[in-house]
Structure 1
Amino acid sequence: MSARSVSPVLVGRSTELDTLEAALADAPGAVLVGGEAGVGKTRLLREFAGRATGRGERVLVGGCLELGSDGLPFAPFTAMLRGLVREIGIDGVAGLLPRSATAGLARLLPEFGEPETDAASGEERARLFELVLTLLERLAERSPTVLMIEDAHWADRSTRDLLGFLIRNRGTAPLLIAVTYRTDELHRTHPLRRLLAELGRVDRVRRVEVTRLTRSEVGELARGLMGDEPPAALIDRVYERSEGNPLFVEALLARDGSMVSALPESLRDLLLAAVQGLPEETHDALRMASAGGTRIEHTLLAAVSGMDDAALTRVLRPAVEANVLAVDGDGYAFRHALIREAIHDDLLPGEHTRLHTRYAEALENDPALVPSGRLWVELSHHWYSAHDATWALVSAYRAAGDARKAVAYPECLAMLSRVLELWDKVPDARECIGIAHDELLEQAVTAAELAGEYERGIKLATAALRDIEALGDDARCVALLERRGRMKYDLAMPGYIDDLRAAARRLPVDPPSAVRARALSTLAQYARLISGNAEADTAARESLAIARRIADTDAEVHALLTLFCVDIDYDGSLDEILEVERIAQRSGNQHPLLRVAVLRSHYLEGSGRHEEAAEVARAGVELAGEFGLARTHGSFLSINMAEPLVSLGRWDEALTCLRRALDQDPVATIRTSLHVLSGEVALARGDLAEAERQLTPASEMMWRKTQDYFAMIRLESALRLAQGRPADALASVTGVLDNPGLPDDARYAWPVLLVGADACARLPDRAHAAAMLDRIERRAAGLHVRGPLQEAHRITFTAQAALARGVHDSAAWDASAAAWERIAQPYPQARCLTHAAEAAVLTGDRDPAATLLHHAAALAERLRARPLAEHIETLRRRARLNGAQPPTERPPHGLTPRELEVLRLVAQGRTNRDIAETLFISAKTASVHVSNILTKLKVASRGEAAATAHRLGLATV
């Protein structure tokens, strides 16, 4: 294997590994593995080689040397042969070949003696090729063999010829030839291009393109390299600079877990290798282009360089042919952002200032050189880089305005932060942009909150309060205190309620104002989390009275929504919140609709109406994206979307939703539920290590609300129980026993009490178990059941508590399973069916038990709930119920189980990309499944396939 350093962690290469494994199973054949430098080809082959050798298969490795056509001929085959000799010896190799034939190998390895003749005839060459082929096939006849040839882009002519001969002339023995090459090295006239094209037409030759990692995969790689959970902001920065190249990720991560500021020399050398051999005039043009960004318009570069179109095209052509630049529409893009960075870092100080000044002047002379939405951002960047503080400030403020209109709040905050940075460097800053410093701070606070940059927002709000306190403007102070309180809450910081109470007290009762109404409503919204409903109800009702008195619709909507969630009745109807939604729609202000979506989906899920909850939350997530609030409101709504998907057993969809939300780097108060839901799916599928990893960040929160605190306890206690630690599970459950009466208590307490009763049944210390069960039952007796979801939990708790006392009540478990089936929750339904079957077995009702287990097993298999499925199978075996199992139904038309999954998603109108993300497969694999489905169903389109699925009853599980 190549001597290059490779990552100890393999991330995001399951599809490529599957292709290699399938090719080996189907050998003889070949796999051509391409990808840019550092993307992980060597790491992929090392993983594949490890698996192959672990199965007793032989792996031979040879690498090409960076010597080109002047290098050693047959270098990888010499290396391969030398490794084989070390493994089985000269005699072992000779025993694989015809007598006296081994002398022919002397042309590759001196250990085999001297070549019979010095003549380099075509006949001798042909004999050598046949000899190598014979050797490999004889090895493969003994056991499947893999020959890996690395870095074929450096292969000499002889190596390419022998490689092509072996692939074209393989016999029937299970021999797989895997070849790696760098796609970024293959310029238009590269000799390997022709060979790859020819081999691509040979039977059983597969192509694999190793692509860059996604952001979540970069996070996984960083986690493996650091041995700890990296901060989301660090992942963002590393992903942005590395663009998903694994080698670059490793190089950019420092040993202490931070990101290096300067590129390591080894990385710079790799990045600039293709640049070094370019003509000097191309070098000059690339330096100019590097100041323009990763992508630059041709017309802009022409204006900056002073060249006409023909001259610029001629100068840049070598860079395009060398894969340093790629043509991108009407401009050029550096193949990798780090190439641009490395070139730009080499600019001398004076050259740096002159180039950015030329860019700024070119854009001011002709704004049409860049799209209109980018003009002020570009100008601010170039004037800032050229050290012109005045014009950088003016341009940044104009750019912030454009970003605000485009609901691009992070970009708006970045530009306003630049204005604040430059303020003291520009004596007449206020006159330049037309607003005072305190107004600028208020704008930045708003942008920070909308962008979800709460730490920055709190600092800005504190600074703004100092300025505005001095001005004596109470209304503006109230608005800032309210914003700061909300942001402190979102960061789980102390003092948030103090800010909100101070805001509510700051303004007098008369005259009534919208600012005070909003402050009171916000106080009510958050006070209920720590002081119960009394303070919240009083503040919300006063807020509503003020809003109606002054006819402020926005304030009225906010107060009504707060009143709705002060004490949610899951037995009630949605009329109240639907009326608030209609008021908000009539007002023309769309933002309150996001909070409506949060509360409506929350209510629907708590009422057991999971499908409706998921759809309302999904629409809310999309709306948040339109408003530029994906990181804040969108991430919160993702909880409300994933939770019903988990309830419905659509776990893969839920995990996709959760992963997307976590990739947004939401605040801690949002991340908790995202981690808990991810952990619960992992736990149900038997991945206890992943469940523990998700629990860790969830348990580090400073708790603010029942939904988070009890959810964390729910995961922790269930995980400890799955680990065989019932005493620790009960220790976790005490967090719910000791905290009655919190908002939404019953909804979140019931699941934890259910785990507690289960733990009591498994606790060896029966005295302690009985005492704990008494405490748990007393807590349960104090809960007021509202809605079918809580009723299902109550019925199940009754059965579980009876089981903990040694009573196996089949009828109680049947009732529990029916309750869960009514609200379409397959996982708890399957668990209750299993308990019902166990009870039936004990009473001798074997046939009903077999039927119950069959139903439970089908649900567990669909969910891929491995521990439950294994438990069901164990129960079947011990009770000897296998013979009573009804026959397994198979999908019609020869569909495989995976194709049936894909068909159900097609019936939901999902695209191949959506299907790929949901099922964790590649888009190409999803496309293949869809094509197979169309063929098997004998239909011509996805729409016809969906209609057929509905007609056959295959669209739903």
Structure 2
Amino acid sequence: MCPVLVGRETELDALDGAFTEVLAGTARAVLLGGEAGIGKSRLTEEFAGRARARGARLLLGGCLELGVDGFPFAPFTAVLRQLVRELGTDGVAELVGGRTSELARLLPEFGEPEGDGSGHHQARLFELVLTLLDRLAQRGPVVLLIEDAHWADRSSRDLLAFLVRNLGAVAALMVVVTYRSDELHRGHPLRPLLAELDRLERVSRHELDRLTRQEVGELMTRLHGTEPSGRRVEAFFTRSEGNPLFVEALMETDGDIACELPESLRDLLLAGVERLPEETGELLRVAGAGSVRIEHRLLAAVSGLDERALTRSLRPAVESNVLVVEGEGYRFRHALIREAIHEDLLPGEHTRLHTRYAEALEEDATLVPPGRAAAELAHHWYAAHNLEWALISAWKAAQEADRAAAYAEELRMRERVLELWERVPDAEQKIGVTRQEALRRAVWAAEWAGDSERGIRLATAALREMDGDVLSQAWLLERRGRMRHQLGRKGWLEDLHEAVRLVPAEPPSPDRAQVLAALAQHLFLGIGVEEARRAAEEALEAARAADDPKSEAHVLLTLICLMAEPNYENATDQAGEGWDLLDRAERIALEMGAGQLTLRAAINRSHLLEGSGRHAEAIEVAARGIERAKDIGLFCIQGSFLSINHAESLHSLGRWDEAVEVIERALESDPPRAHRANLVLLRGEIGLARGEHALAERGLEVAYQFTRWEVDRRLQEHYPVLRLEVGLRLAEGDRRAALTALEPVLTATGRPDDSRYAWPVLANGAAACDTVLELEPLAARAAGMAVQGPVQRAWSMTFHAESARCRGRDPRWDAVADAWGELGQPYPRAQALHRAAEHAAAAGERARAAERLIEAAALARDLGAATLLEAIEDLRRRLGAGGRATPAHGLTARELEVLARLAEGGSNREIAEALFISAKTVSVHVSNILGKLGVSSRTEAAAAAHRLGILPAGHPSVA
């Protein structure tokens, strides 16, 4: 059983909900199915713990695999034995009024059974078991858990059916039955019983699905204690197919995936295969040398069986769920079953079977679906150890993958070619290209597949083998520089400068324009504006001199980012120089059919629209770009970048559920680590607003791990991290940590877009200020910042309102709320309305405060903004005590909760357990409380709380 429960919230909620009905007096039954290792036992263990905590008695009965061979009533015997241990035979006898002779059929402790066990004795036994459970349930809720019902004997199935059908006659009883769905072949006796029980009113049935890729990643993190890379998650997900037990079994102690199947897992996988007829087993060995899915015609060709013999051999495998019919072929129920069968092949058998597959496909490529023949041939020739044909077929497969925009598969095949190169005589003649060209194409494939690690290694290998071709050397240096920058590796700038040096300025050439364009783009991303602008101007001149529109478009897109004012003010009609440059670059990309360039233009346009407050249009542009990225196989790279923009705009409009979906889809594509950091950070931002502080902490952890500040000082990556940390520390009540977190923003950068990303951090920071002294550094930074467009204006107004509050002046929160309302951003509007209500309440304007709270609460509730809603409801409660809000002396809602527990005499650890936070966080809250109340001890704080009326009326600690 996997020790960690992941991704079973729906099923756990269903079990908890059924038990709630049981507590209300309605008996229920829940049927839980799923394949071996899917997590049924772990789920029921978690539920059992919860049920016990709510007062349930748990009765556990497991069916044995040998039950059908003559061990009747096995699970109920186990239940009765448990009751005897807990209550004694006398206690059990008391529950059934001393009528224990029938129970003797289950346990010898009750003496000898009367009669011969005929039908009427069985009926009395069934009634007695029902009575026993009913009497127990009258003392308190009972959960009867019957595990592995697929192994239940006939008598156990009959008794189980009797109990479920008669639930209406029992008090607080819940019956939970688990079974392996993969064991239920067509003739299995449990199938009709499950169908019958599922139709009953008090019964619900649930099938546990395999885990998603994201859930596998979460499981791996919890099993090993560290977050795995996206490629490691993909490897585990592909091989385990989302089965949690298989994920655990395949994980080595260092977190890597096992090369060979562990014996225990192999035994589990092959258990069903070994029960099949010998001829079926032989056919499965043939099928196992194929793929997880194999076409009927291909299996017939390789096996050599006629149609009748093939069908006869296949039927038992299908009926036992080892194979599943899928279209015109068959699929192994789980890929690891095929792997286990394949690993059992003897060396000669392995070579012979793969050779037969390859020869069959060489003769007739239509034996597999279109587009698969090249890859299948490459696999089978390689597995058959025919190195010459393995090389040739891998090259062809790589070409096919390139045409299909399947860049990850292309990279695998190109690396296969390089692996075989020295082992195949005259490799260059056999595939028609030099090794240097094979390396170059592998580098290209790695870049397009988003695998910068392998791309760097391949480019370095190619540079070592360079034969003096200066332009090829420059091309490789440019690619390696790009990928080094993508990973935050040192040496990227040196690579790009060397690439520019190697390509002569005269005569003008596209090669020169291309390397200059790359240098300009990455100088902006990693060094500074002025050097990037000089490189961009030189690149634009070179592109136009060489009549290279593609490089010109690339440079134009960089120049847009370098503009001191990106024309946010003119965004209403998209007029201005920046928009003109963007339109021209986009036109060039479309005319040339340059997909990658088109996507970069979409990234820039959605970015500018979002910064201009045109969130709905930004969403539309980003969504179209994402679909285009999928079409041309670039979703992992540029599609994930567009997903950041897409989710950011959805977040702005309060469409948080949609934003989370976009983020999760992008994360599943294993994006570059910088993109991943941004996605997880944005998910943390939503989590913070919803009160899910663990998600916010996780966002910070990933962002600090992966953002590339040593190499890439992009404000759009750096400042949002600081913004989230300021918000999280403020939500935790640690103002000092919040103010410390924003310190990197206090030094002006002079970079474009500084104001776009600095204003939100400063606004959050101002909310953490209680004194003018704390505020002054922020005010000094804000005084030198531009305000470009309506979004920055709203953030600037938010900052100045917080500043006015801190200085004791009128903060004009209503105007701030209106500014956010005009932009269609519900969350900051709700925050401003709450602040306006606080200000009105402090001034004794109860009606005005209540009016603003009504709208703020509605917005927060629609968003699921739990933290803000809690603060709103807290203010509402305090307003209800009189015309003026009860003075909270600057205490946050969480600090008031801590103070209430402190006043009851709770220790930090007790308060932490009650409020589900850490003892360290409680300590920070207590320090803040002492400071705000101007007291020096917990006792004085409790006394001050009573004296000042901070604690709500009716609180146990209030006299």
TM-score between both structures, scaled by the size of structure 2: 0.88
**Contact 1:706–1:743 (CA under 8 A) maintained in structure 2:** no
Work out which of the residue numbers 629, 636, 645 in structure 2 matches 1:640.
645
Paired amino acid for 1:805: R
Query: Is 1:203 matched with 2:201?
Result: yes
**Contact 1:876–1:882 (CA under 8 A) maintained in structure 2:** no
Q: Distance in 1 between matches of 2:545 and 2:750?
A: 34
**Contact 2:654–2:825 (CA under 8 A) maintained in structure 1:** yes
Cross-structure match for 2:556: 560
Work out which of the residue numbers 326, 333, 349 in structure 2 matches 1:328.
326
Q: Distance in 1 between matches of 2:141 and 2:881?
A: 41
**Contact 2:844–2:884 (CA under 8 A) maintained in structure 1:** no
Work out which of the residue numbers 329, 345, 349 in structure 2 matches 1:351.
349
Q: Distance in 1 between matches of 2:91 and 2:882?
A: 52
The offset of 1:883, in angstroms, is 10
Cross-structure match for 2:137: 140
Work out which of the residue numbers 716, 726, 731 in structure 2 matches 1:722.
731
SS of 1:256's equivalent? coil
The offset of 1:380, in angstroms, is 0.9
Matched pairs, number: 867
The offset of 1:706, in angstroms, is 1.1
Query: Is 1:747 matched with 2:749?
Result: no
Work out which of the residue numbers 600, 609, 612 in structure 2 matches 1:607.
612
CA distance 1:62–1:882, shift in 2 (3 Å): farther
Q: Distance in 1 between matches of 2:583 and 2:663?
A: 27
Paired amino acid for 2:87: I
Runs of 4+ in 1 over 4 A off after TM superposition: 881-885
Trace 1:138-537 onto structure 2 (pairs within 5 A).
138-172=135-169, 173-468=171-466, 470-471=467-468, 473-537=469-533
SS of 2:355's equivalent? helix
Trace 1:740-779 onto structure 2 (pairs within 5 A).
740-761=749-770, 770-779=772-781
The offset of 1:772, in angstroms, is 4.0
The offset of 1:645, in angstroms, is 1.2
Moved more, 323-332 or 379-388: 323-332
Q: Distance in 2 between matches of 1:199 and 1:724?
A: 53
The offset of 1:721, in angstroms, is 1.8
CA distance 1:882–1:411, shift in 2 (3 Å): farther
Q: Distance in 2 between matches of 1:193 and 1:882?
A: 65
Cross-structure match for 2:841: 841
Cα distance per residue 1:332-386 (max 9 Å; x no partner):
1111111111111111111111111111111112222112311111111111111
Cross-structure match for 2:783: 781
Paired amino acid for 1:11: V
SS of 2:769's equivalent? helix
SS of 2:145's equivalent? strand
Q: Distance in 1 between matches of 2:2 and 2:313?
A: 38
Cross-structure match for 2:86: 87
Q: Distance in 2 between matches of 1:69 and 1:448?
A: 55
The offset of 1:483, in angstroms, is 1.4
Q: Distance in 2 between matches of 1:882 and 1:623?
A: 59
Q: Distance in 2 between matches of 1:562 and 1:171?
A: 72
Trace 1:834-873 onto structure 2 (pairs within 5 A).
834-873=834-873
The offset of 1:19, in angstroms, is 2.4
Cross-structure match for 1:19: 14
Cα distance per residue 1:811-844 (max 9 Å; x no partner):
x211111111111111111111111111111222
**Contact 1:672–1:712 (CA under 8 A) maintained in structure 2:** no
Paired amino acid for 1:272: L
SS of 2:422's equivalent? helix
Paired amino acid for 1:774: E
Q: Distance in 2 between matches of 1:236 and 1:881?
A: 57
SS of 2:242's equivalent? coil
Q: Distance in 1 between matches of 2:882 and 2:31?
A: 47
Moved more, 122-131 or 580-589: 580-589
Cα distance per residue 1:922-954 (max 9 Å; x no partner):
xxxxxxxxxxxxxxxxxxxxxxxxxxxxxxxxx
Paired amino acid for 1:124: H
Moved more, 541-550 or 66-75: 541-550
Cα distance per residue 1:721-764 (max 9 Å; x no partner):
22222222222111111352234211111111122222222xxx
Q: Distance in 1 between matches of 2:45 and 2:231?
A: 31
SS of 1:425's equivalent? coil
Q: Distance in 2 between matches of 1:232 and 1:684?
A: 27
SS of 2:676's equivalent? helix
Cross-structure match for 1:913: none
Query: Is 1:668 matched with 2:668?
Result: no
**Contact 2:516–2:539 (CA under 8 A) maintained in structure 1:** yes
The offset of 1:678, in angstroms, is 1.1
Cross-structure match for 2:698: 693
Q: Distance in 2 between matches of 1:332 and 1:560?
A: 53
Q: Distance in 2 between matches of 1:258 and 1:364?
A: 37
Cα distance per residue 1:789-818 (max 9 Å; x no partner):
1111111101112223344x25x2111111
TM-score between both structures, scaled by the size of structure 1: 0.88
Gaps (5+ residues) in structure 1?
Answer: 1-5, 886-957
CA distance 1:883–1:212, shift in 2 (3 Å): farther
Cross-structure match for 2:567: 569
The offset of 1:21, in angstroms, is 2.9
Paired amino acid for 1:789: V
The offset of 1:227, in angstroms, is 2.1
SS of 1:418's equivalent? helix
**Contact 2:513–2:548 (CA under 8 A) maintained in structure 1:** no
**Contact 2:561–2:752 (CA under 8 A) maintained in structure 1:** no
The offset of 1:585, in angstroms, is 2.0
Q: Distance in 1 between matches of 2:763 and 2:424?
A: 65
The offset of 1:524, in angstroms, is 1.4
Cross-structure match for 1:43: 42
Q: Distance in 2 between matches of 1:882 and 1:222?
A: 53
Quote the sequence identity (%).
Answer: 58
Q: Distance in 2 between matches of 1:20 and 1:884?
A: 46
The offset of 1:418, in angstroms, is 0.2
Paired amino acid for 2:828: P
Trace 1:880-891 onto structure 2 (pairs within 5 A).
880=880
SS of 1:102's equivalent? coil
Q: Distance in 1 between matches of 2:289 and 2:152?
A: 36
Q: Distance in 2 between matches of 1:754 and 1:46?
A: 47
Q: Distance in 1 between matches of 2:695 and 2:142?
A: 35
Q: Distance in 1 between matches of 2:209 and 2:676?
A: 29
The offset of 1:191, in angstroms, is 1.5
**Contact 1:449–1:487 (CA under 8 A) maintained in structure 2:** yes
The offset of 1:884, in angstroms, is 12
Q: Distance in 1 between matches of 2:342 and 2:192?
A: 35
Cα distance per residue 1:582-639 (max 9 Å; x no partner):
3322333333110111000110111111111112111111111111011100111111
**Contact 1:754–1:796 (CA under 8 A) maintained in structure 2:** yes
Cross-structure match for 1:824: 824
Cα distance per residue 1:375-420 (max 9 Å; x no partner):
1111111111111111000000000000000000000010000000
The offset of 1:17, in angstroms, is 2.0
Cross-structure match for 1:621: 626
Paired amino acid for 1:487: M
Moved more, 289-298 or 457-466: 457-466
Cross-structure match for 2:950: none
Gaps (5+ residues) in structure 2?
Answer: 886-959
SS of 2:32's equivalent? strand
Q: Distance in 1 between matches of 2:88 and 2:853?
A: 58
SS of 1:572's equivalent? helix
**Contact 2:216–2:242 (CA under 8 A) maintained in structure 1:** yes
Cross-structure match for 1:945: none
SS of 1:612's equivalent? helix
Work out which of the residue numbers 543, 548, 568 in structure 1 matches 2:544.
548
Work out which of the residue numbers 587, 597, 605 in structure 1 matches 2:592.
587
**Contact 1:698–1:712 (CA under 8 A) maintained in structure 2:** yes
Q: Distance in 2 between matches of 1:860 and 1:7?
A: 38
Q: Distance in 2 between matches of 1:798 and 1:881?
A: 31
**Contact 2:67–2:74 (CA under 8 A) maintained in structure 1:** no
Q: Distance in 2 between matches of 1:433 and 1:572?
A: 56
